[in-house]
Amino acid sequence: MNDQKANYPDVPIVYEDNHVLGVSKPVNIPSQEDASGDPDMLTILKDDIKVRYNKPGNVYLGLVHRLDRPVGGAMVFAKTSKAASRLSESVRSRSFRKLYAAVVHGKPKQPSGRLVDTLYKDSRSNTVRVVPKGTEGSKEAILDYTVLATENGMSLVLVELHTGRPHQIRVQLSHAGWPLYGDQRYGNGLNKAGQQIALWSVFVGFPHPVSKEEIRIESMPPTLHPWNLFPSGRLIREIKNY
């Protein structure tokens, strides 16, 4: 990257061709520009492409899906408008697959299961809550979970998203009684200021927008607390076998 953008964080590139860019998003970076004015993923990657390929003028990069600012991991962008349209259709048709790893307080009674809730987003407070089905402005949220390990009163959980609602994993797991480690907003007073939320996008899979070949973007969480409480072997196997 150029000197002007030298203060940008490093964003590891996992996959790239003429149509798709897959990266491992660092934590605490917005997916796109927001009111904070902080560097965001779209701006960082556009500038990077501009420099690496010596492109004049504006660079196109389409936001296919979002990760909450404190969440890191696998993330996909479209490098052409055609790819953006086709990837967006993959999201709508649910052929765009997403897996997350999370460290939660407590241990779910069942080793695996499905959570189905109705969520409502309050745009004024930027918070999401579970509401009765049929509530005006609400949307159904579905995820599957598998408990991979439990240590020190916390569990490593693998989550497959079937819908892409704002704050979905954080709200649904908290509502079920297993708030995420480090989640100040939905942590029910269990977390302390300064803790990093333990939620990581470990896998994104989708048919390539042109070749239709299955593309897999993988990213492992950092070997920091609380992730390092759990052996990484089973998580790696689950991702590879998905």
pLDDT digits (tens, 9 = 90+) for 186-239: 987 888 888 999 999 999 999 999 999 999 999 999 999 999 999 999 999 999
What pLDDT sits at residue 1?
40
The Cα 26–Cα 23 span in angstroms is: 9
Residue 23 CB burial class (10 angstroms; 0-12, 13-18, ≥19) = buried
Q: Check if the beta carbon of residue 31 is closer than 8 Å to that of residue 75.
A: yes
Q: Return left, alpha or beta for 126; rule: phi > 0 is left, psi -120 to 50 is alpha, else beta.
A: left
Average pLDDT over residues 44-56: 93
Instruction: Quote the Cα angle for 237-9-57, to 5°.
Output: 110
| Phi and psi, residue 142, nearest 5° | -130, 130
Clarify whether 68 is annotated catalytic.
yes
**Does the N-terminal peptide bond of residue 226 adopt cis geometry, omega within 30 degrees of 0?**
yes
Catalytic position from the list 47, 48, 68, 183: 68
Secondary element (H or E) of residue 145: strand 139-151
Q: Could you report the per-residue pLDDT of 151-169, keeping only the tens digit for each?
A: 999 999 999 999 989 999 9
Mean pLDDT of 118-135: 95
